């Protein structure tokens, strides 16, 4: 059985939905960041599936786009982990409501 674009897009949609559920449904900041990373990886999978389907110039575009997504994900991970450490140092909790209390 050959893996088609439908299978890859379905997998990307499931990964994105799981990431969205983790990002919106959790109050723990660590799980929110993991959900965002999962959504970015689903977008990468979608880009690569389309580049595999359409050879030629669009295939190169589909392989270059995930490089930008990976760069953004690395920057997001650095900033997110810095915020996570700051909240944990001040409040000793990873609850997302602690961000609003940091103004106090």
> Which run of H or of E encompasses 98?
helix 98-101
d(CA 100, CA 75): 23
What angle, rounded to 10 degrees, do the helices at 5-25 and 29-53 form?
A: 160
In the block, which residue shows the tokens 């799980």? 31
pLDDT score recorded for residue 65: 77
Q: Note the pLDDT tens digit of each residue in 76-96.
A: 888 888 877 877 787 777 776
Which residues are CB-neighbours of 88 under 8 A, at least 6 positions away? 94
Q: Note the pLDDT tens digit of each residue in 4-60.
A: 889 999 999 999 999 999 989 877 778 888 898 899 889 888 888 888 777 776 667
Residue 95's DSSP bridge partners are 28
pLDDT score recorded for residue 101: 65
Global pTM value: 0.74
Domain spans in the chain, listed from the N-terminal domain onward: 5-101
SS (H, E, C) 23-58: HHHCCEHHHHHHHHHHHHHHHHHHHHHHHHHCCCHH
Binned at pLDDT 50, 70 and 90, residue 102 comes out as low
The domain at 5-101 falls in which architecture? Orthogonal Bundle (1.10)
- Quote the distance between the C-alpha of residue 45 and its chain's center: 11
Question: Are 57 and 39 spatial neighbours (Cβ–Cβ below 8 Å)?
Answer: no
């Amino acid at each position: 059985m050959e893996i088609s674009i439908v299978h890859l897009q379905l997998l990307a949609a499931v990964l994105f939905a799981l990431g969205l559920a983790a990002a919106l449904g959790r109050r723990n900041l660590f799980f929110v960041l993991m959900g965002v990373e999962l959504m970015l990886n689903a977008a990468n999978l979608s880009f690569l599936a389309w580049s595999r389907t359409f050879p030629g110039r669009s295939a190169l575009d589909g392989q270059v786009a995930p490089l930008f997504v990976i760069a953004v994900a690395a920057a997001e991970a650095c900033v997110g982990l810095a915020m996570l450490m700051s909240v944990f140092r001040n409040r000793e909790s990873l609850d997302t409501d602690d961000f609003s209390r940091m103004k106090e």
